[in-house]
Chain A
Amino acid sequence: MKRAAPARKPRGSKPAGLSFQDLLFRLLQFWASRGCVIQQPYDLEVGAGTMHPETFLRVLGPQPYRVAYVQPSRRPADGRYGENPNRLYKHTQIQVILKPSPADVQDLYLQSLAAIGIKLREHDIRFEEDNWESPTLGAWGMGWQVLLDGLEISQFTYFQQCGGLDLDPISAEITYGIERIAAFLQGVDNVYDLRWSEDRTYGQVRLAEEQQFSRYSFELADPARTRSLFETTEAEALALLATYKPEAEVERRGFPVLAVYDLCLRCSHLFNLLDARGVIAVTERAALIGRIRRIASRVAAIYVEQSVGPSAPAVTT
């Protein structure tokens, strides 16, 4: 069988495509030069870059904002003990929020692909309908998955709702799947063969983590204790929420809504863990998701009240 040339021909001794870490640098640099704040990954387990407060909270309310960050995202059910060439317990996203969405947002995105060395005229790049929804966060939007020669490399969404609130203005969210893009650039089939840096592979850096967390999520996480952690975390969030007094300006502004949101994220991860352990009955599933969503929706509402005021803006002199 005659084969076509590989995607990237090694030139001389120089290896093909950007290394994994150079890819991160380039994309962050690109977005920094387009006015984005460069944030750090959130320091809790999250299932997607959207759950980072820099997205979930910043898209609420009227203030314009632009931010980009790397977000390692943990999906316990996707773990494959390091044996599957494409699926990972933890994969790496770069998340960009442009608020409000500029008219040339698609072009900006395509420029970012050019910036990491993708020649736009030499590849089949398309925007195919894919509407995004997170029932846990009460969030949804409309947009596309971006396909590069048939490979899904990004999710592109115009956020419509978050925490059950209609958004105004509308933010554009771009999420890059970094492992897939790196594999594409380097012409590699197995994620563990990716060059992470000049002299280290992805496997060398991450394989043990995949193996251990897969084992923990699928086999060892104790269902009863995990469930009780969920209940305790939820109880803490609800107890905090019960103390919120929107009428008093000082107490309203001082309310630790960010702490409640952290608890909400923990609940979400614990739920994912229970799900991977296969101990959530289908009937229970919707109910648990609903419990997390209720906290997320309260967080969103309070966050907006803190910046805008409960009804009319409270003016102090």
Chain B
Amino acid sequence: MKKAVTHADFFLEIGCEEIPAWMIANACQELKVLLEKYLGAAAILENQKAESYGAPRRLIAYIPALLLKQADMVKETVGPTKAVAYDHEGNPTRAALGFAAKFGVTPQDLILVQTPKGECVASRQMVRGRGAREVLDEILPRVLQEIPWPKNMRWTEAGGPRFIRPVRWMVALLGEKVVPFEFAGLRAGDQSSGHRFLGKARISVSSRADHSAKLRRNFVITDPAERRAKIERELRDLAGKKNLCIHKDAGLLELVTYLNEYPTVLLGDFDAKFLELPQEILLTVMRDHQKYFGVEGKAGHLAPHFFAVINLDRDREGHIRSGHERVLRARFADARFFWETDMKCRLADNIPKLAQVVYESKLGSYALKVERVREIAGWLARDWAPAKADATAIDRAAMLAKCDLVTGMVREFTELQGIVGGLYARAQGEPEEIAQAVYDHYLPLGLEDHIPRNLTGCCVALADKLDTLTGCFAVGRIPTGSSDPFALRRAAAGLVKILLERRLPVSLPGAIGTAAKSLRKHNPALKFSGEIEKQVLAFVLDRARFVLQQRMGFGYDEINATLVAGCDDLVDAADRLAAVKAIRRTPNFEPLAVAFKRIRNIVEKAGPESAWKTASVNPELFTEEAERTLHAAAKEVAFRVADLKRRRQYWEALERISTLRPAVDDFFDSVLVMSEDEAVRKNRLTMLAELLREFSTIADFSEIVTEAADAGRKKK
């Protein structure tokens, strides 16, 4: 009973003209975060969480049991010190009188408090908590203003409201009472609006439950999860009846969920003769241009049907289905026209036309890019790819890779670049290896994407990405913040992924150097220093760290330890990294890492090497048994480790190194490195330095974050 008086549910709906579908889910999330932030700060949220959801014409938020009134607070204001406030007889001075007057109290009401300045007078006032409605009134306009959209617009005048699309109504209810806040020239009320064509334009709502129910009757399903489920169910049912399968497409499903307030699936047909066109083209037309799902027969190939998701309850007269069929027919006819026209000329005949297509203003045309990519790919084929690589095929694929850019098909369906080239290459009788390489050479498009299927494709993709990175850095198109117009981050991550997944032991500095050399040769007017190559390498390594950490699950300290020890060849680095990760779990490793850290500290504190380093360790100068033991053990281990390393048996090598632990521990227990005797001291330092150098070539253990080191840090 009491709770009903102190708390009330809050409901908010922002009614808009159609919001771009891909922005809605994100905006809902932002709305939730902003509401929680501001209402939390206003101390009326308590521990409640906001919920938010949306549809094309509305963003909705709901918070159960918002505190109706902020708690009253006692606020204390400190005034003058006691010595200033009272005279020696204890009577209030003018200062005290003035201070009291400021708060409308008498000096007797003042209290004394301890402050860093000493004892002071102070006034305590009761600050009445504000009502939730008042707070919301003030906060809501700010919340809506702060929702970050990719691009805002105005719809009234220059100084007028800004939002993603015009705001047309707002509902804000606290309990059943309206919170009449103002935003975008409107005042919030209790009037919502139904489906644009099937629902009423004005609907009174009194709560979230009332809103959901009434809007459903007016053909708006407010909950995206429910809309998604409806689409999935209808897709399944319709496909099942005809013994067909849906071409699964999670991205499209998400998009149509937010494109429709009342989604309904309908099945349409197209002429089976269009199935002669490659499946990739048919699916792109259906998906990207019409937002239709493709349909597959039981054998997995496309069937002459499609699913369209419409924003209505049903196709009353069958008009909608025949309309969509007609549009698709025209689109497919267009695609077939491009296919037939493009096929009249061989892909290689497009090479001269590439001179007319600018890649980047300072880097020149695609014809130039192709020349550079061929050279880099040639270097990869010659120097790095395993014996299986076919240098002739790689060169041919590099030459053809960009030829589809001047085809009608790619001009119309730009997202099919590469794919279209591969399809034409295959249709024109190029060997499958080359057709696949052209088809795949833009891959991978993201961390989750797969790499080119064959070695030829991997070499062309690597060469293309190396040229893109080096070229863009050379002309200053370096990514900053969120701006990366040439997708260099993606190129670098793709490079790393191909090298690692295909296990190509390519020298990174060598590859970047080759790209730079080719750039200097083909673009002689371009002047850039060797510093650029270093920047590209650092950029690629930064992406490598990202891939290794995010995608392959290595710890950042493991990555640091390994890359510090060498990163010329990423495949080798990844092997060493895997060994470090595996050995880390064995009992000897972490204590040894601690010992290495200690050695590094000692060596670093000893000043520049020239001050103490001797030509070699002199066993004659050993005074303690422990140092003799360590020296002998280290020599023995070093010998075996060198052999294991040559055979790339990094785990075994590391395991062998970790057997040094007792000897190292013993050494530190019984030997004082910084001996009074200079010769002894220098000899010990030299031994430790050698130990450090010798055993840090697989990974620098001192980079490993250990519990012992953390504990040590905490103690400080």
Q: How far is the CB of B19 from chain A (nearest CB, A)?
A: 8
Q: For chain B residues 289-339, which have a beta carbon within 8 Å of chain A?
A: 290, 304, 308, 310-312, 316-330, 333-334, 337
Q: Return the chain B residue nearest A62 by Cβ.
A: B157
Q: Inside 8 A of B334's CB, which chain A residues have their CB?
A: 84, 86
Q: How far is the CB of B343 from chain A (nearest CB, A)?
A: 18
Contact indicator A127/B18 (Cβ below 8 Å): yes
Q: Inside 8 A of B329's CB, which chain A residues have their CB?
A: 189
Contact indicator A122/B155 (Cβ below 8 Å): no
Q: Inside 8 A of A85's CB, which chain B residues have their CB?
A: 330, 333
| Chain A 49-76 near chain B by CB (<8 Å), digits 1 or 0 | 0000000000000000000000000000
B356 part of interface (Cβ distance < 8 Å): yes
Contact indicator A6/B197 (Cβ below 8 Å): no
Q: Inside 8 A of A281's CB, which chain B residues have their CB?
A: 356, 358
- Alpha-carbon distance between A120 and B320 when the two chains are bound, in angstroms: 11
A251 part of interface (Cβ distance < 8 Å): no
* Given known A158-B154, A167-B158, A170-B154, contact A122–B320 (CB-CB < 8 A): yes
| Chain A 148-161 near chain B by CB (<8 Å), digits 1 or 0 | 11110000001010
* Given known A129-B21, A283-B361, contact A168–B157 (CB-CB < 8 A): yes
**Which one of A100-108, A196-204, A238-246, A256-264 contacts B?**
A100-108
* Given known A106-B17, A160-B153, A283-B358, contact A122–B323 (CB-CB < 8 A): no
- Alpha-carbon distance between A100 and B154 when the two chains are bound, in angstroms: 11
**Total contacting residues, chain B, CB less than 8 A:** 52
Q: Inside 8 A of B714's CB, which chain A residues have their CB?
A: none
Q: Inside 8 A of B311's CB, which chain A residues have their CB?
A: 124-126
A222 part of interface (Cβ distance < 8 Å): no
Q: Inside 8 A of A106's CB, which chain B residues have their CB?
A: 17
- Alpha-carbon distance between A157 and B495 when the two chains are bound, in angstroms: 41
Contact indicator B322/A3 (Cβ below 8 Å): yes
B156 part of interface (Cβ distance < 8 Å): yes
Q: Inside 8 A of B196's CB, which chain A residues have their CB?
A: 110, 125
Contact indicator B155/A168 (Cβ below 8 Å): no
Contact indicator B324/A127 (Cβ below 8 Å): no
- Alpha-carbon distance between A8 and B391 when the two chains are bound, in angstroms: 61
* Given known A1-B269, A282-B356, contact A100–B156 (CB-CB < 8 A): yes
Contact indicator B327/A158 (Cβ below 8 Å): no
Q: How far is the CB of A168 from chain B (nearest CB, A)?
A: 3
Cβ-neighbour of B322 out of A1, A7, A121, A170 (below 8 A): A7
- Alpha-carbon distance between A86 and B197 when the two chains are bound, in angstroms: 29
Q: Inside 8 A of B328's CB, which chain A residues have their CB?
A: 150
Q: How far is the CB of A172 from chain B (nearest CB, A)?
A: 8
Cβ-neighbour of B197 out of A1, A121, A141, A151 (below 8 A): A121
Q: Inside 8 A of B21's CB, which chain A residues have their CB?
A: 128-129
B49 part of interface (Cβ distance < 8 Å): no
- Alpha-carbon distance between A129 and B18 when the two chains are bound, in angstroms: 8
B447 part of interface (Cβ distance < 8 Å): no
Classify chain A's interface size: 35 or more
Cβ-neighbour of A168 out of B151, B158, B337, B358 (below 8 A): B158
Q: Return the chain B residue nearest A183 by Cβ.
A: B326
A250 part of interface (Cβ distance < 8 Å): no
| Chain A 76-92 near chain B by CB (<8 Å), digits 1 or 0 | 00000000111000000
A123 part of interface (Cβ distance < 8 Å): yes
- Alpha-carbon distance between A184 and B326 when the two chains are bound, in angstroms: 9
Q: Inside 8 A of A127's CB, which chain B residues have their CB?
A: 17-18
B28 part of interface (Cβ distance < 8 Å): no
- Alpha-carbon distance between A234 and B325 when the two chains are bound, in angstroms: 47
- Alpha-carbon distance between A148 and B323 when the two chains are bound, in angstroms: 8
Contact indicator A184/B323 (Cβ below 8 Å): yes
Q: Inside 8 A of B157's CB, which chain A residues have their CB?
A: 100, 168-170
Contact indicator A5/B317 (Cβ below 8 Å): yes
Cβ-neighbour of A6 out of B259, B322, B324, B358 (below 8 A): B322
Contact indicator B323/A151 (Cβ below 8 Å): yes
Q: Inside 8 A of B322's CB, which chain A residues have their CB?
A: 3-7
Contact indicator B327/A149 (Cβ below 8 Å): yes
Cβ-neighbour of B166 out of A141, A158, A167, A168 (below 8 A): A158
- Alpha-carbon distance between A184 and B320 when the two chains are bound, in angstroms: 11
Cβ-neighbour of B357 out of A5, A141, A282 (below 8 A): A282
Q: How far is the CB of A63 from chain B (nearest CB, A)?
A: 13
A142 part of interface (Cβ distance < 8 Å): yes
| Chain A 12-28 near chain B by CB (<8 Å), digits 1 or 0 | 00000000000000000
Contact indicator B337/A84 (Cβ below 8 Å): yes
- Alpha-carbon distance between A283 and B18 when the two chains are bound, in angstroms: 38
A144 part of interface (Cβ distance < 8 Å): yes
Contact indicator B18/A126 (Cβ below 8 Å): yes
Contact indicator A124/B320 (Cβ below 8 Å): yes
Q: How far is the CB of A152 from chain B (nearest CB, A)?
A: 9
Q: Inside 8 A of A247's CB, which chain B residues have their CB?
A: none
B198 part of interface (Cβ distance < 8 Å): yes
- Alpha-carbon distance between A13 and B60 when the two chains are bound, in angstroms: 52
Q: How far is the CB of B319 from chain A (nearest CB, A)?
A: 5
A166 part of interface (Cβ distance < 8 Å): yes
Q: Inside 8 A of B198's CB, which chain A residues have their CB?
A: 121
Cβ-neighbour of A160 out of B154, B269, B318 (below 8 A): B154
Q: How far is the CB of A296 from chain B (nearest CB, A)?
A: 20
Contact indicator A166/B158 (Cβ below 8 Å): yes
Cβ-neighbour of B259 out of A84, A125, A128 (below 8 A): A128
Contact indicator B155/A123 (Cβ below 8 Å): no
Contact indicator B318/A4 (Cβ below 8 Å): yes
Q: How far is the CB of A158 from chain B (nearest CB, A)?
A: 5
B477 part of interface (Cβ distance < 8 Å): no
| Chain B 10-46 near chain A by CB (<8 Å), digits 1 or 0 | 0000000110111000000000000000000000000
Q: Inside 8 A of B318's CB, which chain A residues have their CB?
A: 4-5
Q: Inside 8 A of B20's CB, which chain A residues have their CB?
A: 129
Contact indicator A7/B158 (Cβ below 8 Å): no
Contact indicator A125/B197 (Cβ below 8 Å): yes
Contact indicator A150/B323 (Cβ below 8 Å): yes
Q: Inside 8 A of B321's CB, which chain A residues have their CB?
A: 4
- Alpha-carbon distance between A40 and B319 when the two chains are bound, in angstroms: 34
Q: Inside 8 A of B319's CB, which chain A residues have their CB?
A: 4-5, 7, 122-123, 149
Q: Inside 8 A of B22's CB, which chain A residues have their CB?
A: 129
* Given known A121-B316, A122-B317, A169-B156, contact A149–B324 (CB-CB < 8 A): yes
Contact indicator A123/B326 (Cβ below 8 Å): no
Contact indicator A142/B151 (Cβ below 8 Å): yes
- Alpha-carbon distance between A131 and B157 when the two chains are bound, in angstroms: 19
B116 part of interface (Cβ distance < 8 Å): no
Q: Inside 8 A of A282's CB, which chain B residues have their CB?
A: 356-358, 365
Contact indicator A158/B155 (Cβ below 8 Å): yes
| Chain B 156-200 near chain A by CB (<8 Å), digits 1 or 0 | 111110000110100000000000000000000000000011100
Q: For chain A residues 224-247, which have a beta carbon within 8 Å of chain B?
A: none
| Chain A 195-231 near chain B by CB (<8 Å), digits 1 or 0 | 0000000000000000000000000000000000000
Q: Return the chain A residue nearest B304 by Cβ.
A: A1
Q: Return the chain A residue nearest B17 by Cβ.
A: A106
B155, B304, B320, B334: residue with the most chain A Cβ atoms closer than 10 Å: B155
| Chain A 285-304 near chain B by CB (<8 Å), digits 1 or 0 | 00000000000000000000
Q: How far is the CB of A100 from chain B (nearest CB, A)?
A: 6
Q: Inside 8 A of A129's CB, which chain B residues have their CB?
A: 18, 20-22
Closest 10 CB pairs of A and B: A149-B323, A168-B158, A129-B20, A4-B318, A124-B310, A127-B18, A282-B358, A142-B153, A150-B327, A169-B157
A-B CB contact pairs (8 Å), 6 listed: A7-B323, A124-B311, A124-B320, A129-B18, A150-B308, A281-B356
Q: Apart from A121-B312, A129-B22, A168-B157, list 6 A-B contacts with CB within 8 A.
A: A84-B337, A85-B330, A122-B317, A131-B151, A168-B158, A281-B356
B: which residues have CB within 8 A of A? 17-18, 20-22, 151, 153-160, 165-166, 168, 196-198, 259-260, 269, 290, 304, 308, 310-312, 316-330, 333-334, 337, 356-358, 361, 365
A: which residues have CB within 8 A of B? 1, 3-7, 84-86, 100-101, 103, 106, 110, 120-129, 131, 141-142, 144, 148-151, 158, 160, 166-170, 172, 184, 189, 281-283
